[in-house]
Copies of this chain bind each other. A is one copy, B any other.
Amino acid sequence: MRPKIYLFGDSITEESFSDGGWGAALANHFSRTADVVLRGYSGYNTRWALKVKEKVFPPPESGDAPLAVMVFFGANDASLPERCSGFQHVPLEEYKQNLVAIVAFLKKRWPSTRIILITPPPIDEDGRLLHPFFDDSSGLPERTNEAAGSYAKQCLAVAAECGVSAIDLWRKMQQFPGWQKGYLSDGLHLTANGNKVVFEEVIGRLREEQISLETLPADLPLIAEINPNDPLKSFEN
């Protein structure tokens, strides 16, 4: 059976199979080689993720070690505590500990599985004010780019500490002029172009971990390998 790649994260993951989404693009890329399994939970932070991890992943006795797990949390943890998304806020130090605990859980369950942490994306505060999630008359965004950056930095620190891979999406996206509206649809979630950045980064990081179309066997004979003069020969085994 095909190996699996899990996408574990918040709404940016849950929405990743919508039009132009990075999850669908991954599934399409690996259409004959790996199953991309969607485990995105809108609104979740690392505190909640830690509570549900045993229900998200298959039990150890299933013997079904994934090829890779993407862990993509932080955008909700970084909500400012005193503003309208404050109930999703997780203090920076706890965020770090929670991520360490999630990585430790995955490493213990599946020592051979590649783990890739993804930092929260940057925040366009203007976009957040234009597209508020709640009725809010404060005139202040519930997330800031500076806060997201602090969480991104801790995410990278966890990856270094735990010896796993990471994608610095916060920094990467900001290298492109116009990232605010070009990559973010509402100051937080991704446009089609923003999704492309995530897809390219994930593919690149997986390749560094020796997970690519070159290394993974195709599931069943490809049409190009089937002899038109004797097609059934390809299906003899």
> Which A residues have a C-beta under 8 Å from some C-beta of B?
1, 14-15, 17-21, 23-25, 27-28, 31-32, 35, 37-38, 40-44, 47-48, 51-52, 55-56, 58, 87-88, 219-220, 222-223, 226, 228-229, 231-232, 235
Contacts and interface: CB of A to CB of B under 8 A. Distances in A.
Given A43-B226, A231-B48, A220 B55 contact: yes
19 contacts: A14-B31, A17-B27, A18-B28, A23-B27, A24-B27, A27-B27, A27-B38, A31-B38, A35-B37, A35-B38, A42-B222, A42-B223, A48-B231, A48-B232, A51-B235, A52-B220, A87-B226, A87-B229, A88-B231
B226 A41 contact: no
Contacts of A35: 37-38
Identical chains in the assembly: 2
A58 B232 contact: no
- Which of A20, A48, A229: most chain B CB closer than 10 A? A48
B27 A31 contact: no
A136 B207 CA distance: 38
Contacts of A17: 17, 24-25, 27-28, 31
Contacts of A42: 222-223
Contacts of A235: 48, 51-52
A200 to B, nearest CB: 15
